[in-house]
Amino acid sequence: MSSSGRKEELNETAIIPPQYSPPPWGRLVAREACDKALVITVNGRRRAYKGPPFKRLLDVLREDFGLTGAKEGCGEGECGACTVLLDHAPVASCLVPASQAEGRRVDTVESLARSKALSPLQKSFMEEAASQCGICTPGILLTAWSWVKSGGSADPQAIREYLSGNLCRCTGYQSIVDAVVKTVRRSKKESLIRRQVSPHDYLPPRGGGK
């Protein structure tokens, strides 16, 4: 049978729902705005967004709030370049509609540096040369930061697995893992020091005991 005949046979036997039509997300995004503003806490600040509820969170952050740290990569949730923290958990912002972020906390890479000072994780990335082209770095930083803040270990294999949703085509990952390991170790050391000099160590027990 010729290739054209085979194609005709496939077309005849294909099962296509008679009433099928593409999902309406594109039309909703293009034409319909929210009746009221969606309030999203972004980097500790309450922000109001009034626009299409199905607009991607990535686009809301970049276009409406001017936060361009999150990058457009694959647009399919596969590369991790657009990663942000949603209620402290890393998510692909290219897959999250604005309506799902209403009343929730969103942290972008801009939240890491305070008062123009680099965060401990950013310092470690700089020291370990864990960034080259930089496109993937914001997403990797946020995923790694969620690992550090949640009390993750300094085990390199565990860190690699946690970062598996973030792709990097430049570094080969080793320098990234080294930076996260260094940050975890520093964090645990500083936490131990703070506990050792805690003012509570010098307070008498309740009830005036000796």
Please report the pLDDT score of residue 33 as a whole number: 62
- DSSP calls for the chain: --HHHHHHHHHHH----TT----THHHHHHH---SSPEEEEETTEEEEE-S-TTSBHHHIIIIIS----S--SSSSSSS-TTEEEETTEEEETTS-BGGGGTTSEEE-GGGT-BTTBPPHHHHHHHHTT--SS-SSHHHHHHHHHHHHHTT----HHHHHHHTTTS--SSS-SHHHHHHHHHHHHHHHHHHHHHHHT-GGGGSPPTTS--
Write out the two tokens for 26: 């594109």
| Residue 137 CA to its chain's centroid (Å) | 11
* pTM, 2 dp: 0.76
Whether pLDDT at 153 is above 60: yes
pLDDT band at 97; cut points 50, 70, 90 = very high
Nearest in space to 86 (alpha carbons), one of 165, 156, 146? 146
Over residues 26-84, the pLDDT tens digits come to 444 444 566 789 999 999 999 999 999 999 999 999 999 999 999 999 999 999 999 99
- State phi, psi for 97 to the nearest 5 degrees: -70, 150
Considering only 88-92, 100-104, 117-121, 186-190, which range has the smallest mean pLDDT? 186-190
Please report the pLDDT score of residue 209 as a whole number: 43
Please report the pLDDT score of residue 191 as a whole number: 74
How far is residue 9's CA from residue 12's CA, in Å, rounded to a whole number? 5
Whether pLDDT at 11 is above 60: no
Write out the two tokens for 108: 């972008």
Please report the pLDDT score of residue 36 as a whole number: 85
How far is residue 21's CA from residue 30's CA, in Å, rounded to a whole number? 17
Whether pLDDT at 86 is above 50: yes
**Mean per-residue pLDDT for 104-131?**
93
Q: Give the number of other Cβ atoms within 10 Å of residue 176's Cβ.
A: 27
Write out the two tokens for 158: 């565990």
What is the crossing angle of helices 137-149 and 120-127, to 10°? 130
The domains located in the chain, with CATH, are 22-111 (3.10.20.30), 120-197 (1.10.150.120)
Higher-pLDDT residue of 200 and 183 is 183
